[in-house]
Structure 1
Amino acid sequence: MTEAENRENWQVYTECHSCSCYQHRYPHTILYKILSWRDRDHLNSKLNCTASEQSCHCEQRRTVCLKDPKATYQVASSVLVKTICFMRSLPSFSQLRTGDQLLLLRHCWAPLFVLGLAQEKIVFEILLGPGLTEKDAAQPTLDEVHRLKTCLHHLWNLDLSPKEYAYLKGAVLFNPAVQGLSALSFIEGLQQEAQRALHEVTHLRHPGDASRFSHILLAASSTQTVSHHLTTELFFKPVISNIDMLHLLTEMLFVQ
């Protein structure tokens, strides 16, 4: 796979913004159930919690929930579909051994999802709950959501183009720092290709801004601070219930 071919395939993703076809092609998958959950009103009523009046010694440790869960789950599911479609669309990714694909999926899906939220300009509001206790230790906290929103605002301030997002996602996906990869050198080369392409596009768009490329990489690195746990609990856990998130992602990636 040549560098030019890899760039072309990354750009294919920037031109595809529809996930409705997934529902028609795979009507019996777990993902279809998520995308069709809009009729499950009991989930919406269960999760439409109100802010608690209880005080907390540490404001950042207060639990949170989505103000409009039904709408947010729908857009989050759409972003997740596009994230997996991006991975599936890259021949260079598909050529990797299954083990390497799974490792990259496990470690990179959350940062890629955050980049997808930023690209789609997804805005969500939260409601404050009580302070964190052992009983609700799995609940998202204000501190975690603040970290996510800060990351999104940094990306929005950069006003990235679709091509910049595509190459940045390639650089994030092909992460040679992931432990246990068998094709380490190949994956490192793919990341370097994506970074070079990103640098070229950035320079063409902003020739007078020599620091823009480093700012983009810095913003991308901040996506690594958003935990898989927060992403799952805030956007998907109430919908997928006890289904393992990695199992869901694996089904989405490898379904034929």
Structure 2
Amino acid sequence: MACTKRKCGKCQCETLHSKSILYQILNKEHGNETKWHQQHCSPHCSARSKCCSCLDRRVVLRTPEATCRRASEVLLKTSTFIRNLPSFYHMPWEDQFVLIQQNWVPLFVLGMAQEGVDFDLREVPATSLLKKILLNQSSTAMNELGSSSAGASFTEVQKMKNLLWKFWDLDISAKEYAYLKGIILFNSECHALKCLPYVQSLQQEAQKALMEFISTMLHGSLSRFALILQLLTSLRDIDADAIEELFFRPILGEATLNVLLIETLYIKPDWL
């Protein structure tokens, strides 16, 4: 669904006069004109339909304490799921590391969907750089401010929210989620694996189990199976940096999440 109060096409920043930005700041109209995007788009608004790059604003959680706690619980349940898979620990630790490094993002997002973790956002004010310019601060200070990564990309976060809604619309069962996690974890596209044939067989086994479960529950209909697999492909488009910045930066600082997950699973080699 396209946004209702903004037409895609020529970027507004190309048509505004140079004095317009200053005018908006002084008259406090800029914040009103760029109100939170969710007021004008439905939760199902496609993240792919971007008007222009200047609309990719930064966002943070509206209630970080509660949401970060729930996100941490999802991460813990994800590690517990992996820990309870003997087939995973039968692989060399190098393969375990590769699979976690490449698949923790879709596993985490799938866990968020299963646990029904929704979240509200607030926009990070974007006028501080202009204020620095107006206050004649040094160019070094302005460069530091301009390179700041406070908050996550709205576009990437909205992509995740849209995908969560699609999973919720399907009303996926606990068994289906378990099979989906197996399909994701045993990613046969990781060609650097030492035991790739073994991983491929595990993924095929999980796919077969999911297909049989859906076929039994829906009397032979496989359209749901195809739709779910399509959503799994979309899971791999979710940006890892956006997840770390939004859900874990407030509590982890500069720690890398996939390494933390590996340490949690006690499969960290000495050289990591």
Aligned residues: 205
2:161 corresponds, among 114, 133, 149, to 149
Aligned to 2:40: none
The 5-angstrom pairing of residues 212-251 of structure 1 reads 212-251=224-263
Write the distance in 2 (CA, Å) between the matches of 1:124 and 1:101: 31
Write the distance in 1 (CA, Å) between the matches of 2:55 and 2:213: 39
Aligned to 1:129: 124
Q: Larger deviation: 54-63 or 121-130?
A: 54-63
Q: Does 1:79 align with 2:57?
A: no
TM-score (norm 2): 0.70
Deviation digits for residues 167-226 of structure 1, max 9, x if unmatched? 010001000112411000100010000000000111122125331100010111111111
CA RMSD of aligned residues (A): 2.2
Write the distance in 1 (CA, Å) between the matches of 2:221 and 2:146: 48
Q: Larger deviation: 122-131 or 164-173?
A: 122-131
Q: Does 1:164 align with 2:176?
A: yes
More helix by share: 1
Aligned to 1:181: 193
Aligned to 1:193: 205
TM-score (norm 1): 0.75
Aligned to 2:91: 96
Write the distance in 1 (CA, Å) between the matches of 2:240 and 2:211: 28
Aligned-residue offset at 1:158:
1.2
Secondary structure of the equivalent of 1:239? Answer: helix
Q: Does 1:205 align with 2:200?
A: no
Write the distance in 2 (CA, Å) between the matches of 1:73 and 1:89: 24
Write the distance in 2 (CA, Å) between the matches of 1:84 and 1:60: 36
Write the distance in 2 (CA, Å) between the matches of 1:157 and 1:74: 25
The answer to whether the Cα contact below 8 Å between 1:63 and 1:141 also exists between their aligned partners in 2 is yes
Write the distance in 1 (CA, Å) between the matches of 2:112 and 2:258: 19
Aligned to 2:61: 66
> Aligned pair in 2 of structure 1 residues 209, 243: CA closer, same or farther (>3 Å)?
same
The answer to whether the Cα contact below 8 Å between 2:93 and 2:267 also exists between their aligned partners in 1 is no
Deviation digits for residues 75-126 of structure 1, max 9, x if unmatched? 0000000001111110110101000000000011110000000001111000
1:157 is matched by which residue type in structure 2?
A: D
2:254 is matched by which residue type in structure 1?
A: N
The answer to whether the Cα contact below 8 Å between 1:60 and 1:141 also exists between their aligned partners in 2 is no
Deviation digits for residues 5-47 of structure 1, max 9, x if unmatched? xxxxxxxxxxxxxxxxxxxxxxxxxxxxxxxxxxxxxxxxxxx
> Aligned pair in 2 of structure 1 residues 158, 212: CA closer, same or farther (>3 Å)?
same
Write the distance in 2 (CA, Å) between the matches of 1:75 and 1:252: 17
Aligned-residue offset at 1:232:
0.9
> Aligned pair in 2 of structure 1 residues 59, 101: CA closer, same or farther (>3 Å)?
same
> Aligned pair in 2 of structure 1 residues 60, 191: CA closer, same or farther (>3 Å)?
farther
The answer to whether the Cα contact below 8 Å between 1:55 and 1:130 also exists between their aligned partners in 2 is no
Larger Rg: 2
2:179 is matched by which residue type in structure 1?
A: Y
